[in-house]
Amino acid sequence: MSNLNLKNSEKAIFANAFLCELHAFARNIRFQNLAFIGLLLCAFLFSNCKSETRKAQTNSPTREVTDDLGRRVKIPETIERAVSLAPNLTEIIFAIGAGDKIVGVTSFCNYPIEAQKIQKVGDTLSPNIENIIALKPQIVLVSTASQIETFTKTLEQQGITVFVTNPNSLEDIYKSIYQTGEILGRNGKAQEVVDDLKKRVADVEARTNTAKEIKVFLQISDEPLFTIGKESFLTDLIARSGGVSVTETVETAYPKISKETALALNPEAVILSDSEDNREPNEVFKNSPAVKNGKVFRINADLLSRPAPRVVDALEQIARDLHPENFD
């Protein structure tokens, strides 16, 4: 009976070891019914672990928060173990001083350098659910770019809350920082981070709000040709930089467009999300004012693709590229 006082992880190890011993014993003396008894004991121990975990979660103080899908979700009053399934969320968590609470991240979470030392749970689109559950997080933070529908139910059945973010503008990014600070108990630091970002953004806008608006095409990939649309936070970023995205009216966030459509856009500047296969403008822009006047700019893909604090670094670079005369 003393084994019933073991921690859940110890119970699981004990049950597995006990089952292996019984199987070996059964093979040796042909008492196969002992293996069956072992299975029953194993099932008992695991069900006991599960019921104890649920009981502990039920008895723990909780609070409600609303995610970007409008879902009211319950989370523990104090969170000490979290998994991040998006690089931008990992960056936010570290920026607000809560990196010590992360127990799992994706293989794409490479910033800051400390994030590279945290256990990986797969990539953003196909995380390993078993690995996540084994880490015993109290909450899993995801982006709507992730395939959350396939695993949200599984995690919530284990008593693990799933919180979804979906920033479509710079203001939404501020909101994500605030939300993360509230969830992880870092409200004060989150406020400091947002205040600093707002000051930097205000400086950029003060330098560019009277400048001539430049027509910009942001090229995410060359072949196929992907860009940004109305629902992307990058459309907002370009507008604050003294430009206007020539695809700002396209309804989706990251549309694929035809070369015929791209040819008619005739941008004055092309911004490349800098990656191995996206170093040059698509050939359709060879006669555009952007290429003819040498207004082709490359910005680190991580800065552009992640709605996190470093997106303001991208904002400042875009503004300097488009209006260098205002940043002397």
List the domain boundaries for the chain. Answer: 2-59, 62-191, 210-326
Is the peptide bond preceding residue 224 cis, with omega within 30 degrees of 0?
yes
**Topology of the domain comprising 62-191:** Rossmann fold (3.40.50)
The DSSP result for 254-269, as a single string, is S-B--HHHHHHH--SE
Q: What is the DSSP string of 62-120?
A: EEEEE-TT--EEEEESS---EEE-SHHHHHHHHHTT-GGGEEEB-TT---SGGGGGSPB
| Distance, CA of 60 to CA of 39 (rounded, Å) | 32
Spatial contact of 163 and 73, defined as CB atoms under 8 Å apart: yes
**pLDDT tens string for the chain (328 positions)?**
333 333 443 333 333 433 333 333 333 333 344 333 343 333 443 344 444 444 444 567 899 999 998 989 999 999 999 999 999 999 999 999 999 999 999 999 999 999 999 999 998 878 899 999 999 999 999 987 555 666 788 888 888 999 999 999 999 999 999 999 999 999 999 999 999 999 999 999 999 999 999 999 999 999 999 999 999 999 999 999 999 999 999 989 999 999 999 999 999 999 999 998 899 999 999 999 999 999 999 999 999 999 999 999 999 999 999 999 999 7
Q: For residue 165, what are its two tokens?
A: 């973010």
CA distance 253 to 220: 12
In contact, 229 and 251? CB cutoff 8 Å: yes
Please list the residues that pair with 164 across neighbouring strands. 142
The alpha carbon of residue 125 and the mean position of all alpha carbons in its chain are separated, in whole angstroms, by 10
What pLDDT is stored for residue 59 in this prediction? 60
**Residues constituting the chain:** 328
C-beta pairs of 304-307 under 8 Å, 24+ apart in sequence: 304/218, 304/234, 304/273, 305/273, 306/87, 306/88, 306/91, 307/88, 307/167, 307/172, 307/173, 307/176, 307/233
Q: What is the pLDDT of residue 280?
A: 96
CATH node for 210-326: 3.40.50.1980
